Amino acid sequence: MSKNGNGGKNYRSAKTGRFVTKRAAQRSPKTTVGETRGGGSTHGAHRSAITGKFVGKAAAGRWPDKTIKDS
């Protein structure tokens, strides 16, 4: 386990794109994405904050507050 106790994940808000604490992620699970540290690039694919699955560009456009563009 990592030093700060979050198990090797960073959490990002789909609304703001900023990193948030694990506690904030737990309070807003439908608008927060957990990212594994050092997970590699997804080449700009869009991912749902609700399911964690990759979605198309059109779906990301319909739900901008619930999707993240991975890098």
How does pLDDT run across 20-42, given as a tens digit for each residue?
Answer: 999 999 999 988 888 777 666 67
pTM over 0.75: no
Buried b (16+ CB within 10 A) or exposed e, 28-60: eeebbbbbeeeeeeeeeebbbbbeeeebeeeeb
Residue 2 pLDDT:
45
Q: What is the mean pLDDT of residues 15-22?
A: 90
Residue 20 pLDDT:
94
Identify the CA nearest to 64 among candidates 29, 26, 17, 23: 17
Residue 62's pLDDT band (cuts 50, 70, 90):
very high
For residue 17, the Cα-to-chain-centroid distance in whole angstroms is 8
Residue 7 pLDDT:
57
DSSP state, residue 51: T
Q: Do residues 49 and 59 lie in contact, with contact meaning Cβ atoms separated by under 8 Å?
A: no
Residue 40 pLDDT:
63
